[in-house]
Amino acid sequence: MLKNRKEIHIEWGDCDPAGIVYYPRFFEMFDSCTNALFEKAGFKKQEMMAIYGLAGIPMVETSARFFVPSAFGDTVTVETAILEWGNSSFRVEHKLYRGDALAAEGLEKRVWTVRDKADRKKLKSERIPQEVKDRFK
């Protein structure tokens, strides 16, 4: 299973008045880490759009658990992997570490979407190409 590790330096703007990371910022980090995982597999977003007609991989379900606070000045490491592939959706897991401590976990369900040929303003799910799935093994 392909995994990616990404270091993120916590900036002042990531934090709430208590000085710890404001929880929505974790979802921004997780989104960035999903993109980094696809890039590690050799799929840049612009290329996927051109080759597969991909409109995006929107999140349709998210969750997170927080164990240890992260604060301004910390450097955290996020380990990301795809846990499960469906026909047109997939589940992504993120484990965020502050040092050796597991500080947070995030889960996403994402859907492979394309523009509807009948109405280009609409999105629809589409079967994920097997060659895409194979790059994550």
Can you list the domains of the chain with their CATH numbers? 3-134 (3.10.129.10)
Neighbouring-strand partners of residue 26: none
| 63-120 pLDDT tens trace | 999 999 999 999 999 999 999 999 999 999 999 999 999 999 999 999 999 998 888 8
123-125 and 89-98: which strand pairing?
unpaired
Contact 107, 64 (CB under 8 A): yes
Distance CA 81, CA 12 (A): 28
The per-residue pLDDT for range 16-38, each reduced to its tens digit, is 999 999 999 999 999 999 999 99
- In the numeric block, which tokens belong to residue 8? 């993120």
Q: Are the beta carbons of 3 and 77 closer than 8 angstroms?
A: no
Tokens representing 79? 């380990």
Q: DSSP secondary structure string, 23-57?
A: HHHHHHHHHHHHHHHHHHTT--HHHHHHHH-EEE-
Q: Which pLDDT score, from 0 to 100, does residue 56 have?
A: 93
Query: Model-level pTM greater than 0.85?
Result: yes
CA–chain centroid gap for 45, Å, is: 13
